[in-house]
Structure 1
Amino acid sequence: MQTLFSPDGSIDAPLQAFGFLIATALALAITVNVTVRGFAAVGYHGFARQVVNPDMLALIALIALVPLNLFDHAVVPLAGVFRPEIGDGGLVENLTITVMIFPVVLAISGLGQRRGHGAFGPVALTAVAIVLLVAFGEEVSWGQHWFGFTPPEAIARTNLQEEFNLHNYITPGTMETVYYVGGLILLVTGARLGSLIEARNGDTVLLPLRGLLILSGALMCHHIFQELAELAVIVTGFLVWNRLDEGRLEFRPRILRTVAAL
Structure 2
Amino acid sequence: MAIWQVVRAIPAVIRESATRAGPGSRLGTVLVVLAAAQAVVAVGLSLTAPGTYRELIREDGPVEAASALWWFLAAVIALGALLLPVVRRARSVLAYGALAAFFVVSGGEEISWGQRIFGFAGPDAVVEINKQHETNLHNIGSISVYANLFLLLTLFVFVLWPALVVVRGGPARLATTRRLPVVTGHATLVYLVWVAAWIIVGVRSGTLGFHPFSLWGEYTQLDDELFEYGVAQSFLCLVVLDLAGVVTGTRGGARRG
Are positions 1:168 and 2:139 aligned together?
yes
Residue identity matched to 1:177: N
**1:251 CA drift (Å):** 4.2
Stretches of structure 1 that go unaligned for 5 or more consecutive residues are 1-29, 198-205, 257-262
**1:241 CA drift (Å):** 1.7
* Inter-partner Cα distance in structure 2 for 1:119 and 1:79: 45
* Inter-partner Cα distance in structure 2 for 1:75 and 1:138: 27
For this pair of structures, how many residues does the alignment match? 212
Cα pair distance change 1:158/1:240, threshold 3 Å: closer
Of 215, 222, 225, 1:227 maps to 225
* Inter-partner Cα distance in structure 2 for 1:52 and 1:242: 9
Q: Is the Cα–Cα contact under 8 Å of residues 186 and 213 in structure 1 kept in the other structure? A: no
Cα pair distance change 1:157/1:59, threshold 3 Å: same
* Equivalent residue, structure 2, for 1:132: 103
* Equivalent residue, structure 1, for 2:189: 211
* Equivalent residue, structure 1, for 2:244: 246
* Inter-partner Cα distance in structure 1 for 2:234 and 2:114: 25
**1:183 CA drift (Å):** 5.6
* Equivalent residue, structure 2, for 1:13: none
Q: Is the Cα–Cα contact under 8 Å of residues 216 and 229 in structure 1 kept in the other structure? A: yes
**1:58 CA drift (Å):** 2.5
Cα pair distance change 1:59/1:190, threshold 3 Å: farther
User: Normalised by the size of structure 1, how large is the TM-score?
Assistant: 0.60
Cα pair distance change 1:186/1:61, threshold 3 Å: farther
Q: Is the Cα–Cα contact under 8 Å of residues 118 and 244 in structure 1 kept in the other structure? A: no
Are positions 1:34 and 2:32 aligned together?
no
Stretches of structure 2 that go unaligned for 5 or more consecutive residues are 1-6, 167-171, 176-183, 200-207, 211-221
* Inter-partner Cα distance in structure 1 for 2:81 and 2:152: 35
Q: For 1:208-247, what per-residue CA distance to the aligned partner results, in whole angstroms no more than 9, with x for missing partners? A: 4332232344538624322222222222222222222222
* Inter-partner Cα distance in structure 2 for 1:180 and 1:105: 24
Tell me which moved more, 146-155 or 228-237.
146-155
Runs of 4+ off more than 4 Å:
49-52, 116-120
Q: For 1:121-169, what per-residue CA distance to the aligned partner results, in whole angstroms no more than 9, with x for missing partners? A: 3222222222211222111111110011223444333210010111110
Q: Residue 59 of structure 1 aligns to a residue in which SS?
A: helix
Equivalent residues in 2 for 1:15-164 (5 A)?
Answer: 34=11, 38=15, 53-68=29-44, 70-71=46-47, 75-76=50-51, 78=53, 80-84=55-59, 88=60, 90-115=61-86, 119=90, 121-164=92-135
* Inter-partner Cα distance in structure 1 for 2:104 and 2:252: 25
Q: Is the Cα–Cα contact under 8 Å of residues 95 and 231 in structure 1 kept in the other structure? A: yes
Aligned-residue Cα RMSD (Å) equals 4.4
Q: Is the Cα–Cα contact under 8 Å of residues 77 and 239 in structure 2 kept in the other structure? A: no
